[in-house]
Amino acid sequence: METVQELIPLAKELMARRPSRKLVKLYVLGGVLAFFGVVIGLMETVCSPFTAASRLRDEEAAVAELLAARERKVLATQTLREKSKQQEAVLCSRALSNRQHAS
């Protein structure tokens, strides 16, 4: 069945054959499942732009968080380098002052 218009002739044909109750229940179950599939497909189609937008926002937030972490790491290494340079400068000045006093 490609269209819904074929559904009514099919139902008439099935009733003309007088199927058993089990077959009627099976056909009804199949029809209900097909209907739910169509409804779920429509809901997915309608809601997909919203989920895609939220997924995009989540990805952008993750990228921003990674960049911020990388910047913090760079800043931390720069501050450590500056501190080590200051400590070396203090040690060098102390060493020079000790030499001057020692001589």
Q: How far apart are CA 77 and CA 87, in angstroms?
A: 15
**pLDDT at res. 33:** 93
Q: What is the pLDDT of residues 14-73, one digit of tens each?
A: 778 887 888 888 888 988 999 999 999 998 888 877 777 777 888 888 999 999 999 999
Q: Say which residue, 6 or 61, is predicted with more confidence.
A: 61
| C-alpha distance from residue 29 to each of 1, 25, 36, 65, 97 (Å) | 16, 6, 11, 50, 96
Nearest to residue 23, comparing CAs of 36, 41, 6, 10? 10
Q: Is the pLDDT of residue 2 over 90?
A: no
